[in-house]
Structure 1
Amino acid sequence: MASKSKQVADGSNKVKLQDSAWKRALVANAEWPDKEEFLDVIYWMRQAMGIILGLFWGLLPMKGFVGLLLFVLVNAAVIYFYVNNFQNIDEEEYGGLWEITKEGFMTSFAGFL
């Protein structure tokens, strides 16, 4: 499946602005003109990840502090690598990496439990 992209002045391919947020979420180095859309993608990605990890941890006999700690580490690591390596977002535009990392974490944790 070919994605719609355009060549910009710096030579990189950027996804067109009219594409949906979910299409841009799946394409590396997408352009995010609306900061709220990117944060919404992070939020909902975290919710899905919380439920999936909760089911997976439930199938494994993963309990107690170790299970909770592993959830926090996996959840934060996936978001960190998605933002920095896949999307190459300048985190300072969003208030720093901590703001992106904590976006939707507590509701994801509730879904995990």
Structure 2
Amino acid sequence: MKEAKANGQYQQQPQHQNGHLSPFKFAKLLDPEASWDKDQLGDVLHWIRQGMALVCGLLWGAVPLVGGIWFVIFLALSTGIIYGYYAMILKVDEEEFGGHGALLQEGLFASITLFLLAWVLVYSLGHF
């Protein structure tokens, strides 16, 4: 660990590799005591939502499901899981990260695009 002198005392700084922070620890994803900065939590929520969008899109297209209700179900499922993850598992203070709206919107529009792309592609290729 590198040490930096601040106020006459040495403090440990995170170790950098090629200008980046040391590797992310996956145990932190389920640790309610872990500290999160806004960018880290945003990235985690974004990629969880993208994974869900891909899985749901592939599943919806393979089954085959059609209709707007399935789109609404995806939105409700995605939002519910994201909210449950940061509020109940990580127990983060929403106000510290810009409120519910900021955290719930993290990766939403990209996940809608990925979900629709996967759903339409799998449905079209498999059922036409």
Secondary structure of the structure 1 residue equivalent to 2:96 = helix
- 1:42 aligned onto 2:63: no
The structure 2 residue matched to 1:66, chosen from 69, 72, 96, is 69
Partner residue of 1:24?
28
* Gap runs ≥5 in structure 1: 1-17
Q: How many residues align?
A: 95
Query: Structure 1 residue 56 and structure 2 residue 59: aligned?
Result: yes
Name the SS of the counterpart of 1:88 in structure 2: coil
Question: Letter of the aligned partner of 1:77 in structure 2?
Answer: G
For each residue in 1:3-29, what CA deviation from the matched residue of structure 2 results, as whole angstroms up to 9, or x when unmatched? xxxxxxxxxxxxxxx77153311x230
CA contact under 8 A between 1:79 and 1:101: conserved in structure 2?
A: yes
State the percentage of identical aligned residues: 31
The C-alpha deviation readout for 1:7-56, integer Å capped at 9, x for no partner, is xxxxxxxxxxx77153311x230422422111100011111111011111
Following the alignment from structure 1 to structure 2, what is the Cα–Cα distance between the partners of residues 40 and 21? 14
Give the letter aligned to residue 98 of structure 1.
G
Aligned to 1:80: 83
Root-mean-square deviation over aligned CA pairs: 1.6
Shift of 1:84: 0.8
Please say which structure displays the higher CA radius of gyration.
2
TM-score (normalizing by structure 2): 0.68
> Is the alpha carbon distance of 1:45 and 1:93 closer, same or farther for their aligned partners in structure 2, counting shifts above 3 Å?
same
| Aligned mates of 1:21, 1:105 — CA distance in 2 | 24
Gaps of 5+ in 2: 1-21, 117-128
- Structure 2 CA distance for aligned equivalents of residues 107 and 30 of structure 1: 29
Alignment CA distance shift 1:60-1:95 (3 Å): same
- Quick one: distance in 1 between partners of 2:33 and 2:56? 26
CA 1:111–1:58 in structure 2 vs 1: closer, same or farther (change >3 Å)? same
**Greater fraction of residues in strand:** 2
